[in-house]
Structures are given as C-alpha cells and as structure tokens.
Structure 1
Amino acid sequence: MSKPNYTGTYHLVEQDNMETYLSALDINFALRKIVCLLKPTKEITHDVATGAMKIRTLTTFKNFNMDFTIGKEFTEDLGPVDGRTCQTTVNWEGDKLVCVQKGEKEGRGWTHWLEGNKLHLEMRVLGIVAKQVFQKAN
C-alpha cells in the first residue's frame, strides 16, 4: 500500500496541553505564554518517491524549518525551539510519520497523521503529550 502524501499548507485549528509540554522542555514562562498564543501554519513538501520531506512551521514570532529523508537519522538543530540539538529519525508506522529525537530529554518526539483534510500532530517529551490539529488550506 502506498503512503499518504503530506504535501500542502495547513493552518492551526486546535491545540491541547502546549503549556505543560513547553514547560517540560524548560521553555521560560514568558516564551511559553507567547508560543501558546501563536497560530502556526505548516507548509509541507513531501516527495513520496524519495521520502524527502520539508516541514516549515511559520509564525509571526519565529519560523522553524525541518528537512529530512524518511528513515535516515540526522542532526536536528532545535535552536529556534529550545536551544538544543538532537539525533532525529522519522519513520513510517503504518500511515503515520513517527519522529524520535535522541538528546537531553527522554521520550522526545512527535507523530503526524492525516485524517481527511486535517493534519494531526502529537508532540511528546518526558511522558507529557501535547496535541495540535491543522486544517489543510484549499
């Protein structure tokens, strides 16, 4: 069975437990408050044939870019997020993209999946889970 193509632009419509998640990443109080008010847009380019992906998370405050090939470990610079670097691998688990980030914080990573025109994102660290849902732009 072929994997879904994640290419598209998605706008945040729901968010849950971000404050607790950011606190677990040692993000300071003021920055947590700002981040929780942001309504990010995700621009995803996905080459299904090669497994290459580019995920751009765009906000009025700060942008974050992530370029990778599914199944290949790379060094991820999380400086714009929390000042850390980690060894990151993104793999398929069924139709879901599952990311494992090895570094200073245990159990860090995320899962993306599509349901119709919605992109779901579950972020994990130290047993804490935050969720975001994005609506695909027309």
Structure 2
Amino acid sequence: MSKSNLTGTYHMVSQDNMDGYLAALDVNFALRKVVCMLRPTKQIQHDPSNGHMAIKTVTTFKNFDMDFYLGKEFTEDLGAVDGRKCQTTIDWQGEKLVCDQKGEKEGRGWTHWLEGNQLHLELRAEGVVAKQVFKKAE
C-alpha cells in the first residue's frame, strides 16, 4: 500500500485549542497569544526513494524547519517553540505521518494526514490536543 504524498504547500484554514497546547508546553502567555493569531503556511517536500522529508512552517513571526529521514531518530531543537530539545522519530502509521518526541514533556508529538485537499495536523503534549487544518495551494 502506497503512502500519501504530502508534498506541496498548504495554508492554514482553522485551528482548535492551540492556546491549551502551548500552555501544556509552558509557553508564556504573551507568546501564546501571538502564536494563536498566526496563520502558518506549511511547505512539505518528500522523497519516497530515500525516505527524506522536509517540513517548513512559515509565519510572519518566525519560521520553523524540520529536515529528517523517516524512521530514524534524531535530536530536534525546539528552541523556536519552547526552548527544549528532544529525541524525535517520525514515520508512517498507516496513512498518517506520526511524530514521537521524547523529552521533558509526556506524550509529546504530532500526526499529519490528508483528507482530500486538506492537510490535518494534531499536536499532543501532556494529554492536551490541538488541531490545525490546512488547504493545499492550487
């Protein structure tokens, strides 16, 4: 069974509980308010031949880049988010791209999946879940 091709540019159309998620990460109140107002764009590149992926989240405030190989653990610097580092592994679970981030916060990670032309993102930390939905650019 082939995996979803996430390659493309996606613009955020909705989000839910981002403030709660950021609070679970101990992000200060002022920064949480700024982040909750942002409407990020995701740029995803995926090379299925070698399992390499790059996910760039672009905002008017700050950009965040991830560059990784599926199934291979790496040290992720989350300084742009909450100042922490963690051991991260990202791989497919069925049709969903699942990230597990081991570090100071329990149950931290995220899941991406496609439904038609919409990219869904579920963010998790300390039992708190936030959701974002992005629409693929034409």
| Structure 2 residue ranges without an equivalent (≥5) | none
Match of 2:62 in 1: 62
Percent identical across equivalent pairs?
A: 73
Q: Is residue 76 of structure 1 aligned with residue 80 of structure 2?
A: no
Alignment root-mean-square deviation, CA: 0.5
1:24-63 to structure 2, matched below 5 A, reads 24-63=24-63
Kindly provide the CA deviation profile for residues 117-136 of structure 1, in whole angstroms up to 9, marking residues without a partner as x.
00000000001000000000
| Structure 1 residue ranges without an equivalent (≥5) | none
Match of 1:116 in 2: 116
Separation in 2, partners of 1:119, 1:28: 28
Match of 2:104 in 1: 104
Separation in 1, partners of 2:121, 2:41: 12
Q: Which amino acid aligns with 1:63?
A: N
Cα offset, 1:2, TM superposition = 1.0
Kindly provide the CA deviation profile for residues 27-49 of structure 1, in whole angstroms up to 9, marking residues without a partner as x.
00000000000000000001111
Match of 1:6 in 2: 6
TM-score, normalised by the number of residues in structure 1: 0.99
Kindly provide the CA deviation profile for residues 70-123 of structure 1, in whole angstroms up to 9, marking residues without a partner as x.
100000010111100000000111010010000010000000000110000000
Match of 2:88 in 1: 88
TM-score, normalised by the number of residues in structure 2: 0.99
Q: Which amino acid aligns with 2:91?
A: N
Structure 1 stretches of 4+ moved >3 Å? none
Count residues in correspondence. 138
